[in-house]
Amino acid sequence: MKHRLLPALLLAAVVPAAAQHGHATLSNPYTSPDDVAAGGRIYRSHCAVCHGLQGKGDRGTDLTTGMFRHGANDDDIYKTVSEGIPGTEMPGTFFNGRQLWQIVAYVRSLSAGRAAEQTKGDPSKGLAVYNAKGCGGCHLVNGEGGRMGPDLSRIGERRSLGHLQMSVTKPNENVLPQNWSVRAVTRDGKKINGRRMNEDTFSVQLLDANERLVSLSKADLAQFEIDRNSSMPAYEGQFQGGEFDDLIAYLASLRGPEANQAAE
């Protein structure tokens, strides 16, 4: 036991340092349904008075649009809610780390899934853009496509308009922990890269470039690095006319196989 524990402990100390090389910002560690519910309780007692019970805004801004003028990353929203916005009615709060993250999770939930009503594009034209740009080489929609990126079959139900737009134009800005990638080198010199699926103290599971699920024991690794940057290319400036809005409208329309079939 002793000889296995030591390398694992060393790795545990090394990983966060390696992870800091990425420029991506911090994502919310508290996003479970219970966290969202807890955030909602605080929201109703402390925020609804200005932002409205449904988040549609009143004295405060509309929080359902998914667009945040004061920064749209999780840690920007964290800072806004923690420190307030000087010179405006938006007050700072006294909540601690975990509760604040739960509020952020709730604020995010107010705009998740509303992207479809907010887009001005045409989803059927967007499907053509999606195919032309080769998005399906890395993403699954209803079981078709590649697996290097996350499955997009229900992306419209889960994400806000702002998040969808940022994901395509600036993928590095807000990569979710389940989308981090892993670079590992085994003690016998084999290099393995892939998408990080799961990780605990002793092992890490990843999906390699051939879409095989690989489980690595950290004790067998000479090097192990988590990269929080996206392996998705940035598409900023690569669309013409209404193409971008159409593509986003298509993504926003994806709500699972049953709903997607009905729309086609």
Residues 75 and 26: beta-carbon distance below 8 Å: yes
Token digits of residue 42:
């605080």
Residues 6+ apart with CB under 8 A from 101: 28, 29, 30, 35, 74, 78
| Residue 218 within binding range of ligand HEC, rule CB under 6 A | no
- The distance of closest approach from Cβ of residue 5 to ligand HEC in the complex, given in angstroms and rounded to an integer, is 33
Q: Which of 46, 147, 154, 183 binds ligand HEC (CB under 6 A)?
A: 46
Q: Which of 110, 221, 226, 251 binds ligand HEC (CB under 6 A)?
A: 251
| Residue 175 within binding range of ligand HEC, rule CB under 6 A | yes
Residues 84 and 133: beta-carbon distance below 8 Å: no
Taking the alpha carbons at both ends of the chain, their separation in whole angstroms is 57
Residues 71 and 79: beta-carbon distance below 8 Å: yes
Residue 261 to residue 173: CA distance in whole angstroms: 32
Q: Which of 169, 197, 235, 242 binds ligand HEC (CB under 6 A)?
A: 235
Token digits of residue 177:
């922990």
Residues 50 and 89: beta-carbon distance below 8 Å: yes
Residues 219 and 8: beta-carbon distance below 8 Å: yes
Q: Which of 109, 123, 145, 159 binds ligand HEC (CB under 6 A)?
A: 159
Binding mask 67-106 for ligand HEC (x = CB under 6 A): -xxx------x--xx---x--xxxx-x---------x---
Site for ligand HEC in 103-142 (CB under 6 A): 103, 107, 130, 133-135, 137-139
| Residue 247 within binding range of ligand HEC, rule CB under 6 A | yes
Closer by beta carbon to ligand HEC, 159 or else 255: 159
Closer by beta carbon to ligand HEC, 8 or else 85: 85
Q: Which stretch binds ligand HEC (CB under 6 A): 1-9, 54-62, 109-117, 186-194?
A: 54-62
Residue 79 to residue 93: CA distance in whole angstroms: 10
| Residue 38 within binding range of ligand HEC, rule CB under 6 A | no
Most distant CA atoms of the chain, gap in Å: 62
Give the residues lining the site for ligand HEC (CB under 6 A).
Answer: 43, 46-47, 49-51, 59-61, 68-70, 77, 80-81, 85, 88-91, 93, 103, 107, 130, 133-135, 137-139, 148-150, 155, 159, 164, 167-168, 171, 175-176, 179, 230-233, 235, 247, 251
